């Protein structure tokens, strides 16, 4: 423990006075679900001493004041769908779950904003916007379960990032409780605002290490009237991937989404969904989504992209222009993470990111690494923005073989990513899982800036320690 104090009975009593005893959990059975996120490895499972469930910003502030005074680590937690062990209490202490702060405060149609608490699920934000003829453009594959606070803390990407950008592009204001308990409100409904440092985008993506997000001002857009999805199977992964930069540069069209799945991912999805997928023996799927307000325009765009896919060697191009067929395509894509877990309950999902033109070369490197270390590495993800979820499967390896294989293969994969002008994580974040690789791959000056920011906002290092930067 070193720097941190234990959660004593006295501390639990004080927490129960701040909240009420029913929202202060100490029963080990009830603590267990808060000991992990979606990272499957035992090294990233840690039991909290206590879980607290505040209802208000004032309660969050009082909890942090107490923790800061007593030197007790606090780990903010959304829905626990993270893929980098960001909400895992690596030093024990308090898990601060935002699950009760789930109110939609306002839908402002005149200014195109929605003001929400952090515990609202992303899917709920999307639905409420849609009911009003509006679009919330953040769309991670976990949208039905992840919370908007978790999306903001991770700067989640997802499917529509090609056209609309990541979560950071949809937020204009935040209320944040600092580790010392002070409440800061930054930004709001002004579309243009350069009043001081851009604190909104300092907290976005800070993975709960700089403050707890308790309110957010989210930007909405008019909902496009027409949407069409294309599914193109290919008999060769490289042919499929080579379409991606050409879609953007040659067709002059900006699709909403460009996703891909390799053959192992397609097979895993088919098994998981227990229903046959078209051309499921293909080497790769490319999924392209287009939206617009004119049916004619969307039609001419999907014809142009369909033609480009066929030119590049697609086996077929399926057009999905109704909810049922679109749902079928996206179910297959969105289930891949869970489907691979069925194939191999222990796996290591990576989130490397490169400029889109480098994807073909990076996939060649991944395939070489897979052969060299004799480990299956299915790859799928957000091809339109260069973000690839290459996933090492443990399948059949004993503990020791898995650990050494994983370490060596990951080192090679990260090195290849950097050679191709890329970076460690596109959307899942550093968390505890990529703490050491970040130290290895980021330059010293940048690491020093990260540490200075952390020390300035969290002088006692009580907020989410063991994530992004290790200062203990
Ligand atoms: C099947 C599946 C598909 C996924 N698809 C995508 C995808 O397409 N794109 C993508 O980007 N990610 C994806 N993810 C990863 C994950 O869903 C996202 O990272 C999501 O943003 C996490 O939200 P959460 O509410 O579950 O947060 P958690 O996992 O609970 O926490 C994530 C991080 O945010 C911090 N945090 C949570 N709430 C707050 C708050 N209010 N204030 C401050 N810090 C906070 C935590 O401390 C932690 O560091 C996927 C995960 C799964 C399991």
Retrieve residue 55's tokens.
């209802």
Q: Dihedral sign, CA of 123, 128, 129, 132?
A: positive
pLDDT computed for residue 355 by the predictor: 94
**Cα-to-centroid distance, 37 and ligand 1 (Å):** 9
| DSSP 8-state code for residue 423 | B
Q: 313 with 239: CB under 8 angstroms? A: yes
The pick from 54, 83, 90, 207 for probing ligand 1's pocket by mutation, whose C-beta has the most ligand atoms within 8 angstroms, reads 83
Task: Measure CA 331 to chain center.
Answer: 18
89 lines ligand 1 (CB under 6 A): no
H or E element: which one contains 74? strand 74-77
Q: What is the pLDDT along the chain (472 residues), one digit of tens a residue?
A: 478 999 999 999 999 999 999 999 999 999 999 999 999 889 999 999 999 999 999 999 999 999 999 999 999 999 999 999 999 999 999 999 999 999 999 999 999 999 999 999 999 999 999 999 999 999 999 999 999 999 999 999 989 999 999 999 999 999 999 999 999 999 999 999 999 999 999 999 999 999 999 999 999 999 999 999 999 999 999 999 989 888 888 888 999 999 999 999 999 999 999 999 999 999 999 999 999 999 999 999 999 999 999 999 999 999 999 999 999 999 999 999 999 999 999 999 999 999 998 999 999 999 999 999 999 999 999 999 999 999 999 998 999 999 999 999 999 999 999 999 999 999 999 999 999 999 999 999 999 999 999 999 999 999 999 999 999 8
Q: What is the pLDDT of residue 472?
A: 84
Report the residue count for the chain. 472
Alpha carbons 221 and 155: distance in angstroms, whole number: 19
Q: Kindly compute the dihedral angle of the four CA atoms of residues 80, 86, 91, 94, in this order, to the nearest 10 degrees.
A: -50
d(C-alpha 29, C-alpha 25), whole Å: 10
d(CA 225, CA 281): 34
Q: What angle do CA 349, 412, 373 make, to 5 degrees?
A: 80
First to last CA, the chain: 10
- Look at ligand 1, atom 21, and give the residue with the nearest C-alpha: 151
pLDDT in tens, 462-472: 999 999 999 98
Reduce the DSSP state of residue 245 to 3 states and report it: helix
**Mean pLDDT of all residues belonging to the chain:** 96
Query: Residues 261, 332: contact at Cβ < 8 Å?
Result: yes
Alpha carbon of 53 to those of 138, 155, 206: distances in Å? 26, 23, 21
417 within 8 A of 423, measured Cβ to Cβ: yes
Ligand 1 mutation pick, 142, 208, 426, 468, max ligand atoms within 8 A of CB: 142
Q: What share of the chain is helix, strand, coil (3-state, %, to 5)?
A: 40, 20, 40
From the CB of 212, is ligand 1 less than 6 Å away?
yes
Q: How far apart are CA 61 and CA 56, in angstroms?
A: 9
Predicted confidence at residue 249, as pLDDT, reads 86
* Residue 395 backbone phi and psi in degrees, to 5: 10, 105
37 Cβ closer than 6 Å to some ligand 1 atom: yes
Count the alpha carbons within 13 Å of 319 in the hemisphere toward its beta carbon.
14
Which of helix, strand or coil describes residue 50? strand
Do 172 and 200 form a contact (C-beta atoms < 8 A)?
Answer: yes
Q: If you measure from the C-alpha of residue 83 to the centroid of ligand 1, how many angstroms do you get, rounded to a whole number?
A: 7
CB 176 within 8 Å of CB 186: yes
Domains of the chain as residue ranges with CATH: 9-98 (3.30.43.10), 104-222 (3.30.465.10), 226-337 (3.30.70.2190), 344-429 (3.30.70.2740)
Q: What is the pLDDT of residues 67-84, one digit of tens each?
A: 999 999 999 999 999 999
The residue with tokens 């293909």 is 282
pLDDT of amino acid 299: 96
How far is the C-alpha of 469 from the C-alpha of 210, rounded, in Å?
A: 11
What is the number of the ligand 1 atom nearest to the C-alpha of 37? 29
């Amino acid at each position: 423990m070193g720097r941190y104090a234990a959660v004593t009975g006295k501390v639990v009593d004080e927490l129960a006075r701040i909240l009420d005893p029913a929202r202060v959990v100490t029963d080990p059975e009830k603590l267990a679900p808060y000991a992990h996120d979606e990272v499957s490895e035992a090294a990233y499972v840690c039991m909290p001493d206590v879980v607290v469930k505040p209802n208000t910003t004032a309660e969050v502030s009082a909890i942090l004041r107490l923790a800061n005074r007593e030197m007790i680590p606090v780990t903010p937690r959304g829905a626990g769908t993270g893929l980098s062990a960001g909400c895992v209490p690596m030093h024990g202490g308090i898990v601060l779950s935002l699950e009760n702060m789930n109110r939609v405060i306002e839908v402002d149609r005149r200014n195109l904003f929605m003001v929400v608490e952090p515990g609202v699920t992303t899917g709920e934000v999307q639905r409420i916007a849609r009911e009003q003829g509006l679009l919330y453009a953040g769309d991670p594959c976990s949208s039905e379960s992840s919370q908007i606070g978790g999306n903001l803390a991770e700067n989640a990407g997802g499917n529509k990032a090609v056209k609309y950008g990541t979560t950071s592009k949809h937020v204009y204001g935040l209320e944040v409780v600092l580790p010392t308990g002070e409440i800061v409100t930054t930004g709001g409904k002004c579309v243009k605002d350069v009043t001081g440092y851009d604190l909104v985008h300092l907290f976005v993506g800070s993975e709960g290490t700089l403050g707890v997000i308790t309110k957010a001002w989210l930007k909405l857009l008019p909902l496009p009237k027409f949407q069409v999805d294309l599914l193109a199977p290919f008999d060769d992964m490289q042919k499929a991937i080579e379409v991606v930069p050409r879609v953007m540069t040659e067709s002059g069209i900006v699709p909403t989404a460009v996703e891909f799945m390799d053959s192992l991912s397609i097979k895993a999805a088919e098994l998981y969904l227990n229903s046959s997928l078209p051309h499921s023996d293909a080497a790769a799927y490319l999924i392209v989504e287009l939206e617009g307000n004119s049916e004619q325009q969307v039609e001419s765009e999907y014809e142009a992209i369909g033609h480009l896919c066929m030119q590049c060697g697609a086996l077929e191009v399926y057009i999905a222009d109704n909810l049922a067929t679109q749902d079928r395509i996206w179910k297959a894509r969105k289930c891949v993470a869970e489907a691979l877990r069925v194939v191999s309950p222990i796996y290591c999902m990576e989130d490397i990111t490169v400029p889109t033109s480098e994807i073909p070369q990076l996939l060649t490197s991944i395939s070489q690494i897979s052969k060299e270390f004799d480990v299956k590495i299915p790859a799928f993800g957000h091809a339109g923005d260069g973000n690839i979820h290459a996933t090492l499967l443990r399948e059949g390896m004993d503990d020791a073989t898995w650990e050494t294989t994983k370490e060596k293969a990951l080192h090679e994969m990260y090195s290849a990513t950097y050679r191709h002008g890329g970076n460690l994580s596109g959307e899942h974040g550093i968390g505890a899982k990529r703490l050491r690789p970040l130290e290895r791959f980021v330059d010293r000056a940048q690491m020093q800036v990260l540490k200075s920011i952390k020390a300035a906002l969290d002088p006692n290092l009580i907020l989410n320690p063991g994530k992004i930067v290790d200062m203990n």
